[in-house]
Amino acid sequence: MHPPPFDARTLTVDLVRQLLTTQFPQWATLPIQAAEPQGWDNRTFRLGSDLSVRLPSAQGYVRQIEKEHRWLPVLAGSLSWPIPVPVALGQPGHGYPFPWSVYGWLAGQPAGSVDLPDLRPFAADVARFLSDLQAVDRGGGPPAGAHSFHRGGALAIYDEETRECLTDLAGWVNTEGARAVWDAALVAHEEVRPVWFHGDMAVNNLLVAEGRLVGVIDFGCCGVGDPACDLVPAWTVFRGESRVVFRAGLATDARLWARARGWALWKVLLQLRQLREGRAAGDEVTAARQVLLEILDDHRTVQAG
């Protein structure tokens, strides 16, 4: 992740209002409210009842805008669940240095903000969404690369970073078990038929209502490549029977599953290193440790089998 080059506190309702007044006055009088929770790559604001405004938080995320405006309308026409569709492209102004976007607003709550007592129907929905996404014609789609922060590519690009995390976390988590998961993921690398991937299937990018998936947001890291990175909810969201349901709804094999565990491990190790440096509350530490335990237990179960 790249720290924003300017104070993120400048990305405010007032700034959004100024940008709209100058560039899209037809929307300038609508109510504006900061969305919660906020993401890292962009700051999102609800605009009226039907729109949203997204502003990249750093230069490194600007390249995602053109991709989303080109491809999200294509993907939206092929998926069974709603995804954000660009409505307008804004330009820098009022001290804000990057292009920005207006999207349609999607109904639903981030899955991480609600209690889902039975995850199995939700798991089946998420698996179906990913299957539908992978089935979309990939012709001309952007291959995995810097724009996707290499999601959809080879895990090896994050090998050095992952091993640095393991060194830094020694004595704080089970680094021996984590290293075994990582090594197995690297060994499982193979050239696969590229398909569309989302690239950031974080729990709060999955919108729910009444326990079911009703939309998926934040396609900034999407592209065409290895879909293993999209399977991380198996450990970050699901466990037990819901994980079984999730996997059963996808076309997976042992090598793909091992790579997916590697992606989940890389992400949670980065999070744990940040948490150890005192950047979050204790409940976040507990949740991250639980994700790591789920990854390690799943790997041990496979090895024992």
- pLDDT tens for 144-177 read 999 999 999 999 999 999 999 999 999 999 999 9
- pLDDT tens for 85-97 read 999 999 999 999 9
Distance, in Å, from the CA atom of 216 to the CA atom of 206, rounded to the nearest integer, reads 5
Alpha helices in 153-276 (DSSP H): 159-168, 175-187, 233-236, 241-248, 254-276
Would you state the pLDDT for residue 204? 95
pLDDT at 2 over 60: no
Q: Compute φ and ψ for 192, nearest 5 degrees.
A: -120, 160
When computed from its CA atoms, the radius of gyration of the chain, rounded to whole angstroms, is 19
Domains delineated in the chain: 8-105 (3.30.200.20), 110-304 (3.90.1200.10)
Name the nearest CA neighbour of 231 among 165, 157, 133: 133
Distance, in Å, from the CA atom of 273 to the CA atom of 275, rounded to the nearest integer, reads 5
- pLDDT tens for 25-45 read 999 999 999 988 777 788 999
The torsion region of residue 295 among left (phi > 0), alpha (psi -120 to 50) and beta comes to alpha
Instruction: Kindly state the percentage of the chain with pLDDT values over 70.
Output: 96
Per 3-state DSSP, the chain is made up of helix, strand and coil in percentages (nearest 5) of 50, 15, 35
- pLDDT tens for 238-260 read 999 999 999 999 999 999 999 99
Q: Which residues pair with 215 in a beta bridge?
A: 207
- pLDDT tens for 114-140 read 999 999 999 999 999 999 999 999 999
CB burial of residue 244 (10 Å; 0-12, 13-18, 19+): middle
Is the pTM here over 0.75, yes or no? yes
Distance, in Å, from the CA atom of 170 to the CA atom of 190, rounded to the nearest integer, reads 30
Residue 126 makes CB contacts below 8 A (sequence gap 6+) with 201, 206, 213, 233, 237, 246
Instruction: Kindly state the percentage of the chain with pLDDT values over 90.
Output: 87
